[in-house]
Structure 1
Amino acid sequence: MLNHNNQEEYRDPINYDLEFGGETDKYDFFLQLAKKHPGHVLELACGTGLTTLYLAERGIRITGVDIVEPMLAYARIKAKELPVDFIEADARIFESNQRYSMIYLTGNAFQAFLSDEDQTALLRTIYKHLEPDGIFAFEMRNPDGTDLSDEEEESWGTFTDMDGATVKVSGTQTYDASKQLMHWVTFRDWGHRQTTSRIVCRFTDVQTLKQLLDKQGFILEHQYANWDQTSFQPSSPMVISVCKKV
């Protein structure tokens, strides 16, 4: 799943939060889903706990799991006295005696599982740790709604870092259709310095995803195009899936 290159995006957790935080519509989606399925919730690939802590602050009993220790270390600092556990583990082989009413991934984390074997191992872990009729939810980019063509460096936007500086973000993308793998290279320009990081994500088409979920014992209950629960269409850029353990 997370090879060396795939961890490069997660070396600077404070600025990661500043660049990618604040997605309250997404956090609210998982909060409302958790409230509908009361119990203990598990977030896999939780990173710095952006979503985990949002739910914990609102009374959800929750545990976060991630493989990248610096991200978890920052999550624990932010958690302060909140009753939330953060565990360093690989989601493919995570083991716990706890069973959860809901398990979810977000940030397109499902796409970090780069092979059939990785995806199967992830889903088996989730199935094993869900309570009967437990809910599994996650989102991913829809390949039929995404431009997968190779692109030279282009601007992707800006963010304000921990020191108040404006950071310019740009990048390239190269798609390996034979393996369904997108290779992104991201450049962040502070003016006085520049960083480069690489990440690889797998694009799974919706029909293949449905077959995979069915094979691993999940019923696909809903698919949405965005966090306000608009119905998914074949050309939607994103697909949010909510599944139940059979």
Structure 2
Amino acid sequence: MALIEHSNLEEYEDPVNYDLEFDGEMDKYQFYLELAKSSPGEVLELACGTGLTTIPISKAGITITGVDISSAMLAYARLKAEGLTVTFMEGDARTFESDKRFSMIYLTGNAFQAFLSNQDQIDLLTTVHKHLHPGGIFAFETRNPNGTDLSDQEETEWGSFIDKDGNNVKVSGTQCYDASQHIMHWVTMRDWGYKRTTSRIACRFTDSDTLNSLLTRHGFRIEHQYADWDKTPFSALSSSIISVCRKTDG
């Protein structure tokens, strides 16, 4: 999943190691696959990145298109998807245009938080609404600000992964929250042993009441909201808001 602010794209310049760090969320892949199966027709994933979720859905025999703003991520997605009937397109989710209409559109990887202004969010929802069939499904997840530690933090260990060359890469980072804009600024440091890299990312936090009002105003009815991929009902302090919506008008 590639974010839309210029600095956010720093996280997506190394797609092979991106997959090694972030792949393996099988519960999430299954969640979106089940949704796609429940809404027969073509599926669109916005901010698809390297196709971590797109490809499993394609392998299940569902016709799917993935759109992302990062050419590097898409190049690796196409390589991984060779032989599959999946289409990858470079584009911005705020301005994407297609003659196709889809039975389901989704974003994952908390990609909704990449849309950092009110207008960005409106433009995204306008794109989704325009490209859904009447009654089509729109699904996405976002971190819940009321269930997230938004305090400023100095460098903290976040974990590690094994890179494409077999190196153990230690991951750490800092966070700084701009409460006036509801935007978290993360700086991620990766220690490769022989080098140390730094990348920045910014994500907007939208509380559940604001989110639900936004969705309703732009033509979506919320059918379900969950706290996790096991479909635990969302509560005020859940760490995630997983929303499954339906387009309510033509």
Give the TM-score band, short-chain normalised. Answer: over 0.9
Q: Name stretches of at least 5 consecutive residues in structure 1 with no aligned partner.
A: none
Is 1:184 the equivalent of 2:186?
Answer: yes
SS in 1 for 2:53: helix
Task: Provide the residue aligned with 2:18 in structure 1.
Answer: 16
Is 1:140 the equivalent of 2:142?
Answer: yes
Q: CA deviation at 1:3?
A: 2.1
Is 1:175 the equivalent of 2:168?
Answer: no
After superposition, give the CA deviation of every residue in 1:66-91 in whole Å (9 maximum; x if it has no partner): 00000000000000110000000000
Task: Provide the residue aligned with 1:105 in structure 2.
Answer: 107
Structure 1 length normalisation: TM-score? 0.99
Distance 1:8 1:149 in 2: 23
User: What RMSD in Å do the two structures reach over aligned CA positions?
Assistant: 0.6
Give 1:152's match in structure 2, choosing from 151, 154, 168: 154
After superposition, give the CA deviation of every residue in 1:164-215 in whole Å (9 maximum; x if it has no partner): 1110000000000000000000000011101000000000000000000000
Task: Provide the residue aligned with 2:42 in structure 1.
Answer: 40
SS in 1 for 2:24: coil
Distance 2:46 2:91 in 1: 9
Task: Provide the residue aligned with 2:98 in structure 1.
Answer: 96
After superposition, give the CA deviation of every residue in 1:108-157 in whole Å (9 maximum; x if it has no partner): 00000000000000000000000010000000000000000000000000
Distance 1:38 1:197 in 2: 39
SS in 2 for 1:50: coil
Q: Name stretches of at least 5 consecutive residues in structure 2 with no aligned partner.
A: none
Equivalenced residues, count:
246
Give 1:216's match in structure 2, choosing from 209, 215, 218: 218
Q: CA deviation at 1:2?
A: 1.5
| Contact 2:54–2:66 (Cα < 8 Å) also in 1 | yes
Distance 1:23 1:77 in 2: 20
Task: Provide the residue aligned with 1:122 in structure 2.
Answer: 124
Task: Provide the residue aligned with 2:59 in structure 1.
Answer: 57
SS in 2 for 1:26: helix
Distance 1:105 1:123 in 2: 11
Give 1:239's match in structure 2, choosing from 234, 241, 247: 241
Distance 1:32 1:81 in 2: 23
Distance 2:185 2:218 in 1: 28
| Contact 2:5–2:114 (Cα < 8 Å) also in 1 | no
Q: CA deviation at 1:60?
A: 1.1
Distance 1:79 1:2 in 2: 24
Distance 1:3 1:61 in 2: 29
Structure 2 length normalisation: TM-score? 0.98
